[in-house]
Amino acid sequence: MLDFIYQTGWGAFTLMLLFQIPFLLIFPYIVYRKSFVNAAPSHTDPRKLSRLETVWLIVAITLFIAANVYSINYMPMVRTAATESSAAVIQDVDVTARSWSYEISNRQFEVGKPVRFSVKSVDTMHGFTVYHPNGKILFNMMLIPGLEKASSLVYTFTEPGKYKVRCLEYCGIAHHAMQDELTVVESGS
Ligand SMILES: [Cu+2]
């Protein structure tokens, strides 16, 4: 059960829905009741208004659910599970974070080959965030110290280049200096 909640996109989605349910029940009820009590300053028939509001609510809820279901496959843990079950070879990399540097077992990868980053922190909260050469964040891991198992995430680089690694969890005086770099080369080179 806990694995389902923490390791899958569907778990996160279910949990999020549970938080929404009280709101989804109470809010339409308040809107419905109010539409009969306070018609001023509009002279529109409040019953008509409440019908419009019902339609709007249904549209909003449908869009909300559809956007969440559609984007589930973009969540890193869902992609990781999919790659782990389908890839023939996954390259393993161990990363240890400590104030204020990373120990990385391998810093060079090939385009198109899935890499499993197994990352842990040995002292305090750190981040392991990998940036595309164009400055966009590709993925971000939050590292909680004291866990028995390293957290892992599978990522497949699609372009060669220099990929910056930065810590995005404030971890002390030299947090800003906690950086590293990965190199991705064309496959076969
Ligand atoms: Cu930091």
User: Are residues 107 and 30 located together in one domain of the fold?
Assistant: no
DSSP 8-state class, residue 135: S
User: Are residues 95 and 49 located together in one domain of the fold?
Assistant: no
* Sign of the CA dihedral with 29 first, then 14, 118, and 108 last: negative
User: Are residues 118 and 155 located together in one domain of the fold?
Assistant: yes
Of 23, 51, 74, the last residue of a domain is 74
CB within 8 A of 94, min separation 6: which ones? 103, 104, 105, 118, 119, 150
* For residue 62, pLDDT beyond 90: yes
Q: Which amino acid is at 61?
A: I
Distance CA 92, CA 115 (A): 6
Of 45, 74, 103, the last residue of a domain is 74
CA of 28 to the centre of ligand 1 (A): 43
* Cis-peptide, bond into residue 46, ω within 30° of zero: no
Q: Is residue 115 part of a domain?
A: yes
Neighbours of 158 (CB within 10 A): 10
Give the domain range for residue 28.
2-74
CA of 139 to the centre of ligand 1 (A): 16
Q: Is residue 80 part of a domain?
A: no
Quote the number of domains for the chain: 2
* For residue 185, pLDDT beyond 80: yes
The string of pLDDT tens digits covering residues 137-152 is 999 999 988 888 888 8
Q: Is residue 79 part of a domain?
A: no
Contact by Cβ (8 Å): 178, 156: no
CA of 141 to the centre of ligand 1 (A): 12
Of 48, 74, 100, the last residue of a domain is 74
